[in-house]
Amino acid sequence: MEPTNKLPKDFLWGGAVAAHQVEGAWNKDGKGVSIVDVLSKGAHGVDRIITDGVQDDVMYPNHEAVDFYSHYKEDITLFAEMGFKCFRTSIAWPRIFPNGDETSPNEAGLQFYDELFDELLKYNIEPVITLSHFEMPLHLVKHYGGWYNRGLIEFFVNFSRCVFERYQNKVKYWITFNEINNQRNWKNPLFGYCNSGMNYTEFEHPEQVMYQVIHHQFVASALAVKIGHEINPKMKIGSMIHMMPLYPATCKPEDMIQAQQSMREKYLFSDVQVRGHYPRYIEKEWQRKGIQVDMAEGDAEILQAGCADFLAISYYMSNIVDAVPPTDEVNPLFGASRLNPNLEASEWGWQIDPVGLRYALSELYERYEKPIFIVENGFGAVDEIEPGKTINDDYRIAYLSRHIAEMKKAVTLDGVEVMGYTPWGCIDCVSFTTGEYMKRYGFIYVDKHDDGSGDFSRAKKQSFSWYQQVIASNGEII
Ligand code: BG6
């Protein structure tokens, strides 16, 4: 028996990124144009623009990102030096199927991931692979209308089957869709676009369209889980949500009910993907709103046959909700929630709530009794380089350390099964929401800047040796 006051010996410590935020090489070796290749650079409070194709006079940070495509060997050496047991990234779908509707894959794209996974395995680092991390071929949006078109299920399944077959002996841990629930905030065009190639605000009945799109993704995800298990029963295939606990703003019962109902906007996704069926509360909501979701015969059975093996979450912050929200305070990035006056926030307004991580883990584990993988957590900040290339990111160490402490309580005091912990942006990368380089998360600094300057050289931050020690002590020294 393992001691109950410690993390399990096989705990998966590592780091996380996504293909489009690190790789660059946006048009190399036969890769097709991805939806993120037409996302301009934004800033805090300045939206990223979705352009109509790639335009000459627009800056697209994901085109170069941090050039992981050429630097991955050097980067993996650094991950190994930190002691990573796993590394989470995604496969860029358009590297494998440039347009998404081809019948045979692009061999050069497959070869790249073969080499990447071999390099990780050389250091005993398990790849943890997301099939769609805010990526799909742009062609599927332009010619098929994104995930509103049921035909996308087949394209996604073909892509999934292809990579499962190819990497079944290299990749054990898979995640179908990254933060599938972001698009529930349909008023924010970035989320619908990155999740599904959709801009819900353009439709007369945006919520109806959103639920239809989501249904297609639920079916696609469940089919992928089923096919993956048939290809290799040892593969563990999870679903993922962006977990942001919403606390009631006060102890008024009405605020409590509001918090419970708002959390359904997240739980719907894990309820369907982990339990394999739609919960009754959503049927009631659809009836009230007159929403009709087309489901084909056999869809219910598909959902039931493709339940996720584990639930992956990203956790950055919590927010609060009120029955009657003060409209001038709501946080547009996160729907109708607002900031908690009891918590501090990062420069980007992301609140720091380590205790919320323990709360979230217990809530989810008690709901599903399935292992939980924390595949994102981290602190986006501006890092200053001091003389001698020292980067003292003690604020990042403080954030991560406090979250790890609460995660350990969830495991050792509450009995939550946590599979692993992969802090986001373990190497600096392009921010998703703003497209900035200056919002850095890494243990490894990359010399690349928002004005386009920089030579992509890598440097270790203070947090690098701190995290090395965390892993070496299996979380005892934090
Ligand atoms: C998650 C995404 O929402 O948050 C990542 O899965 C993203 O892709 C991360 O990068 C942090 O967000 P941002 O906007 O700070 O990069």
Q: Please write the tens of the pLDDT for every residue from 161-170.
A: 999 999 999 9
Report the candidate in 431, 456, 436 with the shortest Cα–Cα distance to residue 378: 431
Question: Atom 2 (ligand 1): residue with closest C-alpha?
Answer: 432
**Is residue 376 among the annotated active site residues?**
yes
**Residue of 64, 126, 179, 376 with catalytic role:** 376
Amino acid at 381: A
332 has pLDDT over 90? no
pLDDT of residue 2: 59
Q: Which atom of ligand 1 is nearest to the CA of 431?
A: 16
Of 331, 334, 433, 441, the residue with max ligand 1 atoms within 8 A of its CB, to mutate for a pocket test, comes to 433
pLDDT of residue 278: 98
With cut-offs at 50, 70 and 90, classify the pLDDT of residue 252. Answer: very high
Q: Is the CB of 436 under 6 A from ligand 1?
A: no
Q: How far is the CA of 253 from the centre of ligand 1 (A)?
A: 33
55 has pLDDT over 60? yes
Domains and CATH numbers, the chain: 12-472 (3.20.20.80)
Q: How far is the CA of 252 from the centre of ligand 1 (A)?
A: 33
DSSP 232-277: -TT-EEEEEEE---EEESSS-HHHHHHHHHHHHHHHHHHIIIIISS
Q: How far is the CA of 99 from the centre of ligand 1 (A)?
A: 25
Of 377, 424, 426, 428, the residue with max ligand 1 atoms within 8 A of its CB, to mutate for a pocket test, comes to 424
pLDDT of residue 474: 98
Question: Atom 5 (ligand 1): residue with closest C-alpha?
Answer: 432
pLDDT of residue 328: 67
Question: Atom 8 (ligand 1): residue with closest C-alpha?
Answer: 432
59 has pLDDT over 60? yes
> Please, is 258 exposed, middle or buried when counting C-beta atoms within 10 Å of its C-beta (0-12, 13-18, 19+)?
buried
294 has pLDDT over 90? yes
402 has pLDDT over 60? yes
1 has pLDDT over 70? no
Q: What is the dihedral of CA 82, 19, 273, 356, to 10 degrees?
A: 50
Task: Give yes or no for a contact between 85 and 11, defined as CB atoms under 8 angstroms apart.
Answer: yes
pLDDT of residue 327: 67
Q: How far is the CA of 431 from the centre of ligand 1 (A)?
A: 6
Q: Which atom of ligand 1 is nearest to the CA of 348?
A: 15
425 has pLDDT over 90? yes
Q: Is the CB of 180 under 6 A from ligand 1?
A: no
In this structure, the number of other CB atoms found within 10 A of the CB of residue 67 comes to 18
Q: Is the CB of 94 under 6 A from ligand 1?
A: no
With cut-offs at 50, 70 and 90, classify the pLDDT of residue 326. Answer: confident
Q: How far is the CA of 287 from the centre of ligand 1 (A)?
A: 34
**How many percent of the chain have pLDDT more than 90?**
94
- How much is the average pLDDT of 361-388? 96
Q: What is the mean pLDDT of the chain?
A: 96
129 has pLDDT over 80? yes
